[in-house]
Chain A
Amino acid sequence: MSDHSPETAAGGIKKRTLPDRLLSSPRLTVGLLLVLSVASIVGTVFPQGEQARHFLSRLGPAALSFVGFLQLDDLFHATWYMFLGGLLALNLLFCLYRRWPSLKKTLPPRAVFTRGLYRFVVHGGVLIILAGAALSHLFGIEAYMEIPVGETVEQAFLRKDDRPLDLGFQVRCDAFHFERYESGMPKEYRSELTFFKDSSPERNAPVRVNQPVSFKGITFYQSDFRKILKARLAVRNEGETWEVERLEGQAFDLTGKGMNLSVLVVSIMENVMTMGPAVKLLVRSPEGCRDLYVFRDIDRFLEKIPDLYERYPPFDPGNIAPWRFELAGLEETYVTGLMVNRDPGAPVAAGGAAVLMAGMLLTYFNRKREDNDRRGPAKKNRPTRGGGP
């Protein structure tokens, strides 16, 4: 059953150089696999990436430089780890190339062809997967975006360094649904998205966990969500009323009698000083910038502190006359969190995996027949201690 090591002296093939012999040795394969295993164990025990930051802050300078030198906090992308992976790939290539002649010596001709071919297919599959991994690493994009319901976004943020990424199109979240089973366990997270190219809607699609959606080569995955508050404001100016709905960080302009305003919603609070919901606005007028706190239940506040407006002018909803601000209410809404990826390596790796599996299955289906071929006369010459199946 076993192959004999491909040694050159006996076969009279020309002498091979040391690196050649080293690189085509199956012992190097076993050694590299075990070293990579131990390194990977370190990588699962030592905190990686984001989790490493807190841990690293407790280390001394010497330990820190050691960690830095070996890139232990990002071990799976460390130069030396990838070098070992590359060496394994090289070892694989050399083995395939060099062991072919040795197969010829140990196997009957039909087995040489099938076995050599299948071995080629199996290892070729592994190499293709590694090539896919390299492609993903070099040319892949992993980003993240948050879209509040009803909003349109055209930027995502790269996961590795938070740099913004322009998508080249717009995505609107029309709705987000969070359903539960009767027991309270989450049943479904679903974002209804509309994709726009040059402001015209091109595609509607729901994105669920396990059901991503692709648009123009970029794929969107349902990742997480959070709840946020939306403020419903009513702004009055001499009989006219503007109804405005805004999230934290959003702005709006007001054009009316007296003067024009530019308003930014700085924060939305559910309960301020037990006086109920309020929003903090930053109002810019020709006279300058002013803070304004708008309470929904301002009357309750006034009952307690009748001279509130004199003492705290920013609490006076009519402080920026002739404008008057009212908070009609707060509304809970969702922000959906989406992974935004492009991975040119994935189809390559998938192809490699298919080749690998095909090679393995072919090898096993043919092994029995091939064993019978080899066993015939050869078995009697092999020193055995009897027994065996």
Chain B
Amino acid sequence: MNTTLLAGTPFVYLGAFLIDLTGRVTGKTALSRTAKTVAAAGFCLHTAGLALRWVESYHLGFGHAPLSNFYESLIFFSWAILLAYLILEFWKKPGILSPFALPAAFLLIAYASYSPDVDSRIRPLIPALQSNWLVTHVITCFLGYGAFVISSIFGLLCLIKGNDPLSTRDDIPERDSLSLYLYRSVAVGYVFFTLGIITGSVWAHSAWGSWWSWDPKETWALITWMIYTALLHHRLGGKDRAKGMAILSLVGLASVFFTYLGVNYLPGLHSYL
């Protein structure tokens, strides 16, 4: 049942994306607002799916939060992107995130639901995952990832807009405001991601006896953290700060995806596959 709900969600996101795109092409801004509402409805469906999955796992006799395997992590990653997108779009209204955030969330949840390589069954927890730290660690990391994805959208737009005051890209907000959004979304993501690394480290200490063992996932999390630390400090000095931050936000995104997926191809303890 939960997988049915979750498998329906990507279509809602796709629909919202197409509505927004139509609005942008035809210049009807009302459609973009409709798209946001549709996306919010999709998010409710998504949340209900996750909640139902949690409940169903209890009915199967080994209840645990739906954050324990590759399928569930993809679903939650998508959820975190939508959460960050909705908060920003309904609160600060930059009005520019839909064409990027919606397809990103769509791709992740659609891949989870429809790829034959991703097993969507609810499984009991293996001993290594039976820890109270699982929930906090995964939630904080992915909330961080979600905010980082949003920040990279501002970074990309910042680069497209360029530094030319006579830029013809009137459809993109001013560079200063993009740069501020970028900074703020990184700042929020950074708090969550730092907490994610700390909780992971505490967990590793009780599971493996070592709070830091240079496992590839750990190392890549540190690399990602250092890139975003560099981004936050780049703001304090340097010539074209907006451009530097924009580039670092894209490098950071690449690092996020490598931390999430790439390390599965390196030897280590964190593998999903």
Using a CB–CB distance below 8 Å, which chain A residues touch chain B? Answer: 1-3, 5, 25-27, 29-30, 33-34, 36-37, 40-41, 43-45, 48, 51, 76, 133, 136, 142, 181, 183, 185-189, 208-212, 219, 221-223, 339, 341, 343, 346, 349-350, 353, 356-357, 360-361, 364, 384-389
Contact = CB atoms under 8 A, between A and B. Distances in A.
Given A186-B127, A219-B209, A388 B177 contact: yes
B191 interface: yes
A187 B226 contact: no
**Which residue, of B176, B209, B267, has the highest number of chain A Cβ atoms within 10 A?**
B209
Interface string B161-197: 0000100000001111100110100011011001100
Contact of A51 (B126, B219, B267): B267
A2 B244 CA distance: 14
Given A27-B237, A385-B174, A34 B230 contact: yes
Given A357-B195, A361-B191, A387-B173, A41 B210 contact: no
B114 interface: no
B206 A350 contact: no
Contacts of A142: 209-210
B202 A350 contact: yes
Main secondary structure of the interface of B (DSSP, over half): helix
A37 B174 contact: no
A339 B208 contact: yes
Contact of A133 (B130, B131, B212): B212
A5 B234 CA distance: 12
Interface of B: 62, 92, 123-124, 126-128, 130-131, 165, 173-177, 180-181, 183, 187-188, 190-191, 194-195, 198, 201-203, 205-212, 214, 216, 219-220, 222-223, 226-227, 229-230, 233-238, 241, 255, 263, 266-267
Nearest to A30: B230
Contacts of A211: 206
A183 B230 CA distance: 47
A187 to B, nearest CB: 7
B206 A27 contact: no
Given A212-B206, A353-B198, A388-B177, A360 B191 contact: yes
B230 A33 contact: yes
B127 A43 contact: no
A37 B233 contact: no
A364 B173 CA distance: 25
B130 A2 contact: no
A341 B230 contact: no
Contacts of B235: 2
A27 B266 contact: no
B209 A221 contact: yes
Main secondary structure of the interface of A (DSSP, over half): mixed
Contact of B123 (A29, A43, A185, A349): A185
Nearest to A189: B127
A208 B127 contact: yes
Given A41-B223, A364-B187, A389-B177, A221 B211 contact: no
A343 B210 contact: yes
B115 to A, nearest CB: 22
B72 to A, nearest CB: 16
Nearest to B173: A387
Given A210-B207, A211-B206, A212-B206, A186 B238 contact: no
Contact of B238 (A27, A33, A45): A27
Contacts of B266: 44-45
5 contacts: A25-B237, A76-B219, A211-B206, A219-B209, A364-B187
Given A221-B208, A357-B195, A37 B226 contact: yes
B177 A360 contact: no
A29 B236 CA distance: 10
Contact of B207 (A185, A221, A353): A221
Nearest to B202: A350
A44 B233 contact: no
A26 B201 contact: no
A209 B220 CA distance: 24
A387 B222 contact: no
A329 B203 CA distance: 43
Top 4 nearest A-B pairs by Cβ distance?
A387-B174, A209-B127, A33-B230, A339-B209
Contacts of A5: 236-237
B214 A43 contact: yes
B176 A387 contact: yes
A40 B222 contact: yes
A187 B124 contact: yes
Given A51-B267, A185-B124, A360 B194 contact: yes
Contacts of B127: 186-189, 208-210, 222
Nearest to A2: B235
A361 B192 CA distance: 10
A209 B203 CA distance: 11
Given A2-B241, A188-B127, A389-B92, A33 B233 contact: yes
Given A2-B241, A187-B124, A356-B194, A37 B227 contact: yes
A15 B230 CA distance: 28
Contacts of A43: 214, 219
A219 B190 CA distance: 32
Contacts of A388: 174, 176-177, 180
A33 B123 CA distance: 39
